């Protein structure tokens, strides 16, 4: 069964992908180690809520910066 955390990360990943960004782009924009983001994405570890919010803010910022170009 997929947890709500995994669903949230998947939704963020899809938004980033649709905007043309890779998970590494998202990790760096959020100030998170890409390897840690991978562990969260695969369910090996569970991120804190604050880290999910960092990812959400980072994807919003990346999309806004791309739209402003």
Number of domains into which the chain is organized:
1
* Confidence (pTM): 0.89
Using one digit for the tens of pLDDT, what is the confidence trace for 16-49?
999 999 999 999 999 999 999 999 988 899 999 9
Q: Judge contact between 24 and 34, C-beta under 8 A.
A: yes
> What integer is the mean pLDDT of 4-21?
92
Look at the block and give the residue holding tokens 């959400």. 56
Query: Residue 1 above 70 pLDDT?
Result: no
> Percent of the chain at pLDDT above 70?
99
CATH number for position 59 = 1.10.260.40
Task: Give, in order, the Cα–Cα distances in Å from 62 to each of 1, 46, 55, 68.
Answer: 30, 24, 10, 10
pLDDT at 4: 86
20 conformational bin, left if phi > 0, alpha if psi -120 to 50, beta if neither: left
Range of the domain at 27: 4-68
């Amino acid at each position: 069964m997929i947890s709500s955390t995994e669903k949230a990360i998947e939704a963020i990943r899809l938004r980033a992908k649709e905007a043309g960004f890779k998970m590494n782009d998202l990790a760096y924009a959020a100030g998170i180690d890409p390897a840690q983001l991978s562990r969260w994405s695969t369910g090996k570890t569970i991120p804190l809520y604050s880290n999910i919010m960092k990812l959400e803010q980072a994807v919003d910022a990346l999309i806004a910066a791309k739209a402003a170009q």
